Chain A
Amino acid sequence: MLVDAGLPGPEDYMKVARHFSGGWLPEHLKVPSGRLNSRALMGLRVIFAGNSAIGKNYHTYSIHILDLCMSRALDFQPGGNMPEKQDTMSVKHGDISQRVGVEVIRNRGVDVEKLIKMLIANAGAEFASTYYYYTILRMHLAGHEDYKEICEDARLEDRAHWELIVPRIYELGGELPNDLKAFHDGAGCAAAKLPDPPTAVNILTLLLESERCAIRSWQAVCDMTFGKDPRTYDMAARILNEEIEHEAWFIELLGWERDKKSIPSGHFRRGEPGEAPYSKNRGFYIGS
């Protein structure tokens, strides 16, 4: 038990924080009283989520973090460490060289330049590593019409992800490389090139591992933006939702094709190929 019965005090915060962060607690999370205030606690949650060791058991830890949030030891002083209106003051009236939409998330601790790099790498993975190569993979699933259709859903939904990411890159002040090869080479996931031999098992294995890379990549964006950049977080979470579904589909298909095991994915058919219920904000089951 990390927190003893009863209401935790400041020392409990520090104990829990040290435990969660492996003994490492950044100075900026401390307040003069030695107590973590609400903003610091939010930062701590983000750190936990971004730490792969902690992230694995985030749900377990989050219960304890929630305990702390609910306790009287929290410092909820109005104003506190969260200065009011300071975000907008950093951009002068009529100035078009800066964006309040960027500065507000920078002020909350987002490394905007790093985020742009992550989004470009993820866009490369969606467009170049998967959408393009999935087109070829689909062509080689002859005789497996069911696999073809699922591959088609994943392919078109990855294209939808690409379309969703690009505007956000530019909103944040970034831009796509003006060179397709550079874009492809900068992708964060391996190109899903047709395997040799192009058997259904080999193709499904490749599809599965591609989706897993996408999940890891989008989880990282979620971790980076959680509680700080709701617009990017919402986009990343929508994409992540679909990547997780894709992984489940390919586990189901590979489990059957390779091991003759039934591992249901919970998949319901899309309303139309590439429906993308999360990233296109459509109903889950359209049609009658």
Chain B
Amino acid sequence: MDESPPAAPNIFHVTLLTPRGEHTIVAESEQHLWDAAQAAGIILPALCHQGRCLTCAGRLEGPGEVDQSDSDAYFPEDREAGFVLLCTGKPRSDLRIRTHQQHEMRAYRRSLGLPAPYS
């Protein structure tokens, strides 16, 4: 039986580019980015909180890795275009994310014939 203490979560710095300005927050590796923002007093758009409706969409500006395994619907094409779903995305590196991208992500999904709820 392994009695070693659980590994401490990694901490990442996440810069959010919101319509009201730029904010840098810290997020743990097992924390959803939306929750980390909320904990820092930044309320971002969200609706389903299941990684489906695209209301919480953001877009990476620069390199970075986000774990979207908690999302209900996330496609390789989304990752290629840098779109992330903040309500169910967990950081795997420091990140720089432009928030409020729901309209852009829905338009992108539609252009590829992929599901885009609320559009």
Enumerate chain A interface residues (CB-CB to B < 8 A): 22, 24, 52-53, 56, 117-118, 121, 124, 185-191, 209, 212-213, 216-217, 220
Contacts and interface: CB of A to CB of B under 8 A. Distances in A.
Contact of B118 (A52, A53, A121): A121
12 contacts: A52-B43, A52-B45, A121-B53, A186-B115, A187-B52, A189-B48, A189-B52, A190-B50, A190-B52, A190-B73, A213-B50, A216-B49
Q: SS class of chain B's interface: helix, strand, loop or mixed?
A: loop
Contacts of B115: 185-186
- Of the candidates B47, B50, B117, the one having the most CB atoms from chain A within 10 angstroms of its own CB is B117
| Chain B: number of interface residues, binned into ranges | 10 to 19
B48 A190 contact: yes
Contacts of B20: 22, 24
A216 B48 CA distance: 7
Interface of B: 20, 43, 45-53, 72-73, 115-119
A213 B52 CA distance: 10
A188 B43 contact: no
A217 B48 CA distance: 7
Contact of A188 (B45, B51, B52): B52
A186 B47 contact: no
A187 B117 CA distance: 6
A212 B50 CA distance: 10
Contact of B47 (A24, A56, A117, A220): A220
Contacts of B116: 186
Contact of B117 (A22, A186, A209, A216): A186
Contacts of A22: 20
Contacts of B117: 121, 124, 185-188
A52 B46 contact: yes
A24 B20 CA distance: 9
Q: Which 6 A-B pairs have the closest CB atoms?
A: A185-B115, A190-B72, A53-B43, A190-B50, A213-B48, A188-B53
A22 to B, nearest CB: 7
Contacts of A24: 20
Contacts of A121: 53, 117-118
B86 to A, nearest CB: 13
A191 B73 CA distance: 10
A186 B46 CA distance: 16
Contacts of A118: 118
Nearest to A22: B20
Contacts of A217: 47-48, 53
A217 B117 CA distance: 12
B55 to A, nearest CB: 9
B17 to A, nearest CB: 17
Nearest to A209: B50
Nearest to B48: A213
B16 to A, nearest CB: 14
B118 to A, nearest CB: 5
A255 to B, nearest CB: 20
B75 to A, nearest CB: 12
A280 to B, nearest CB: 26
Contacts of A188: 47-48, 52-53, 117-118
A189 B118 CA distance: 11
- Of the candidates B50, B72, B115, the one having the most CB atoms from chain A within 10 angstroms of its own CB is B50
A214 to B, nearest CB: 9
